[in-house]
Amino acid sequence: MASAGHRVLEMTGTRKVFGPVVALDGVDFAVGASEVHGLIGGNGAGKTTLMNVLYGLYRPDGGTVRLRWQGDRRPQPPGAIIHGIGLVHQNFLQVDSYTVTENIVLGTTQPSFPALDLREAEVKIADLAERFGLKVEPRIPVEWLSAGIRQRVEILKALYRGARILVLDEPTTNLTPQEVDSRFGSLRARRSSRGDASSA
């Protein structure tokens, strides 16, 4: 765990209860700049619950979240990316008939609005893909893509929105060994490129 002076993210005393089930009880978690963490545990251990509390999908029943650039905050889904936190779900949130680019920019404001000219977005996506080893074809519908490439799209979606902390829920599920190696290679590239934190 990162020393207090180098932490960019700190969760303290995290508690989450679902009826009679205590999913998290007094959990502490911290990430330092340029660190990559893996949370290991069996099914039901609370890994996904902790990540959902961090992102704001679940309201915690106790504890605090502190970001170095924001201070204490109350997690809430619309604000998570504003605070620099991007979450890549195990089950991808994509529109199958949309292209890679359309999925990545969905929900963002485009300079060409109300026209839908995505050329500028494609250039930005291509740059991110090159920098972080996440090769994609921007004009292909995502329904044509393998699970590994669809995950790349989700990571690019978070990076496109300016994520400074990247959370991957079950990042190796449904990936081939080669795709797993590639994915962690892209995480190392991101860590080398920026002084922010990545969490898996």
CATH of the domain at 65: 3.40.50.300
CA distance 34 to 57: 25
Are residues 19 and 99 both part of a single domain? Answer: no
Q: Which domain holds residue 155?
A: 84-191
Residue 196 lies in a domain: no
Q: How many domains does the chain have?
A: 2
- How do residues 64-87 score in pLDDT, each as one tens digit? 888 876 655 555 544 567 678 888
147, part of any domain: yes
- Give the whole-angstrom CA distance, residue 196 versus residue 31: 9
> In this structure, are 69 and 144 located in the same domain?
no
Residue 179 reports pLDDT greater than 90:
no
User: Among 30, 55, 83, which residue terminates a domain?
Assistant: 83
Backbone angles phi, psi at 7, to 5 degrees: -80, 135
Least Cα distance to 63 among 2, 14, 112 occurs for 14
Q: With respect to residue 197, please indicate whether it lies within any of the assigned structural domains.
A: no
Do 100 and 163 have their domain in common?
yes
Domain edge (last residue) among 63, 83, 103 = 83
- Residue pair 99/140 in contact by the 8 Å Cβ criterion: yes
Residue of higher predicted confidence among 39 and 70? 39
Quick check: 200 pLDDT over 90?
no
Q: Are residues 92 and 77 both part of a single domain?
A: no
**Shared-domain flag, residues 72 and 98:** no
| 88 and 187 both lie in a single domain | yes
Residue at 198 is within a domain? no
Per-residue tokens: 69: 């650039």
Question: Residue 16 belongs to what H/E stretch?
Answer: strand 7-18
Q: Give a yes or no: residue 163 inside a domain.
A: yes
Which of the four pLDDT bands, split at 50, 70 and 90, describes residue 194?
Answer: low
DSSP 161-181: TT-SEEEESSTTTT--HHHHH
Q: Are 96 and 143 in contact (CB under 8 A)?
A: yes
Q: Which two tokens stand for residue 105?
A: 């920019």
Q: Are 108 and 161 in contact (CB under 8 A)?
A: yes
Query: Residue 200 domain-assigned?
Result: no
CB proximity list for 33: less than 8 A, separation 6 or greater: 2, 6, 8, 195, 196, 197
Same domain, 58 and 134: no
- pLDDT(57) > 60: yes
- Could you tell me which residues come within 8 angstroms of residue 74 by beta carbon, excluding any fewer than 6 positions away? 65
Q: What is the mean pLDDT of residues 142-162?
A: 90
182, 117: one domain: yes
Q: Measuring CA to CA, which residue among 158, 159, 165, 132 is closest to residue 31?
A: 165
Residues 192 and 184: beta-carbon distance below 8 Å: no
